Amino acid sequence: MSTFGFEISATDNAARRGRVTTAHGSFETPAFAATATAATVKAMMPENARSTGAELALCNTYHLMLRPGAERVAALGGLHHFMNWQGPILTDSGGYQVMSLSDLRDLTEEGVTFKSHLDGSRHELTPAKAMEIQHQLGSDITMCLDECTPFPATEEEAALSMRRSMRWALLCKDAFRPRAGHALFGINQGGVYPALREESADALKKIGFDGYAIGGLEVGEGQESMFRMIEATAPHLPLDKPRYLMGVGKPLDIVGAVVRGVDMFDCVMPTRSGRTGQAFTRRGTLNMRNARHMSDPRSLDEQCPCPACAHYSRAYLHHLFRAEEILGPMLLTWHNLRFYQDLMRGLRQAIGEGRLKAFAADFAARQAEGDIEPGDQKDRALG
């Protein structure tokens, strides 16, 4: 079993290219995790999700503790065996979903008690309990229990919330059982207040973690604020540990965050969008339900090697979504994951070659171009 580690192989200004090693193999950074909320990447066979380039899976503690239950997953051999995922798994602490999904939350200094959104059963999540559950799940990267500070929040509210999360972070560190190749990440909070973000980074650094997450963003503050908060945080985190921006984001959010020194990402966007008919392409997003695709023989993205693009027309994808056929979500999830992983590959390569700035500018320009209309003969000839 290998030791948990992070090796940086190249930097480009604040951006870094590297590799994180865990008990279940390694993943290259900047990395985008495949979201596997309930121990499945929705609408994907795990081997197909991996084939897109996703090396890290993210599972949600809140969902799994309620169903099928962490003890049951442990008895069945842990998450990797349960869901047939051979690579590294990161689990969140469950705190975020408790706040957003459960009924009758009661948040105190000790933790949070809540009622399950599934059956109303009563549960408790404390820093120690969050560590225990993630241990039972067998995750390679365990996240501290924190409170995702709501947005908007006054500076005082954000400070109180962040400081409690920092006290919880210390309790998590104490409760976490170190094992070779298994990591515990702290989570930076502080709302949209740079001084609080810096205070939080210092508090986490003092406790000492294997990696550092930036939490409480992509909650309505906007891209500009998000980038400012990364700039207020990243320079205060240890250079030699991975940095993880939780729940982010849109392709251009990711590019901007990588430029600012972030190494890891997760977001439901590619998988969730894939199920509703939204496709990410080099020229921006498309809605495959739109009638303009109804008779279009072209592939979704002629540069993409995924099955949706290699073997099917836009007209067929449109048909699948109109007919509410499961193959629509299957193909579009595959495509979107592939698009995100291709973006990460491009970012890693650009950092390695010291041309991240040009890559980022080119990517943004292409995204802004928008899709070519079906009637454009030049594109048809290229397609």
Catalytic residues: 92, 266
Residue 325 C-beta: closest distance to a copy of itself, Å:
5
Site for a copy of itself contains 45 (CB under 8 A): yes
Site for a copy of itself contains 75 (CB under 8 A): yes
Distances in Å between the Cα of 185 and the Cα atoms of 59, 143, 287, 369 are 15, 5, 37, 38
Candidates 4, 62, 82, 168; binder of a copy of itself (CB under 8 A) is 82
Residue 298 C-beta: closest distance to a copy of itself, Å:
11
Site for a copy of itself contains 312 (CB under 8 A): yes
**What residues from 324 to 343 belong to the interface with a copy of itself (CB under 8 A)?**
325-327, 329-330
Q: Please identify, using beta-carbon distances, which residue of 220 and 297 lies nearer to a copy of itself.
A: 297
Site for a copy of itself contains 321 (CB under 8 A): no
Site for a copy of itself contains 323 (CB under 8 A): yes
Candidates 76, 239, 361, 382; binder of a copy of itself (CB under 8 A) is 76
**What residues from 84 to 143 belong to the interface with a copy of itself (CB under 8 A)?**
84
Residue 108 C-beta: closest distance to a copy of itself, Å:
30
Q: Please identify, using beta-carbon distances, which residue of 41 and 204 lies nearer to a copy of itself.
A: 41
Site for a copy of itself contains 295 (CB under 8 A): yes
Count of CA atoms in the C-beta half-sphere (13 A) of 54 = 34
Site for a copy of itself contains 322 (CB under 8 A): yes
**Contact mark string toward a copy of itself, 252..281, x via CB under 8 A:** -----------------------x------
Question: Rounded CA gap, 201 and 232, in Å?
Answer: 9
Q: Please identify, using beta-carbon distances, which residue of 245 and 337 lies nearer to a copy of itself.
A: 337
Question: Rounded CA gap, 247 and 68, in Å?
Answer: 24
Backbone angles phi, psi at 86, to 5 degrees: -80, -20
Give the total of residues touching a copy of itself (CB under 8 A). Answer: 38
**Residue ranges binding a copy of itself (CB under 8 A):** 38-45, 63, 67-68, 72, 75-77, 82-84, 275, 294-295, 297, 307, 311-313, 315-316, 318-320, 322-323, 325-327, 329-330
